[in-house]
Structures are given as structure tokens and as C-alpha cells.
Amino acid sequence: MQDEKWQDIIERVQDDFEVLEHETRELEEGSGSVEYIVFNGPLGKMKLERISRPFILDKKVIGSNRIGSDTRVEYIFSDTEKTHAFNAYKWDDAQDDWVTIEAGSAFGV
């Protein structure tokens, strides 16, 4: 999802609904960030989140074929390009947790 489209969604939510939370936080080890907004929407309490991470340029598997040896994966990330994921959730009182909803049809993504 492009930055402009995400900002349009945030502005639309802020204009049309009661916003309960709006926050951006960094993921562990500098692997990206999560921006989310929680609001009272048409389905009750809802949460939209956008996860931004550096684009993976290459993946290297390091290890040997010997029994008991360690294997690890090293990723090479882009300094300029990012990937974005969009998720939408609805609060479920019965489960006392967020439940994923299909965002494409509800928000025009």
C-alpha cells in the first residue's frame, strides 16, 4: 500500500469516526515499524494497521551438511525500498481479542 493511500485512509477514519488510539512503534532490531489506528467504526471497535519493513534483496543460508551443525539465514535488506502490509481487525468481546476481517472489500484497498 502506497504512503498516500494509507494517509488517505487515516484522514478518512479521523474525520468520520471516534479515534481511540493512533500510534507508530518500531519493530525489534530495526526490522521495520507498525502504525495502527483504533476507532469505533460501523462494526464496533476496529483496528487498522500498516506494517513497513525493508525490502529483502537477498537471502543466504549459512551452514554445513555435517550432522549437528548449526544453520542460519542472513538477509540483505535494501536501504531505500520498503514493503508494506495492511491488516484490519474487529474487536470480539466473546474472545476478548482482535479478529482479522477482510479489508479489501471494506476499505477499498
- How far, in Å, are 28, 73, 79, 81, 86 from residue 57 at the CA level? 20, 13, 10, 10, 21
pLDDT digits (tens, 9 = 90+) for 15-33: 999 999 999 998 887 678 9
> How far is 31 from 54, CA to CA, in rounded Å?
7
Three cell numbers, residue 94? 466473546
What's the confidence (pLDDT) of residue 34?
92
Do residues 62 and 76 make contact, with C-beta atoms less than 8 angstroms apart?
no
How confident is the model at residue 72, as a pLDDT? 84
Residue 23: per-residue pLDDT: 93
Q: List, for the chain, all residue ranges whose pLDDT scores fall below the cut of 70.
A: 1, 30, 103-109
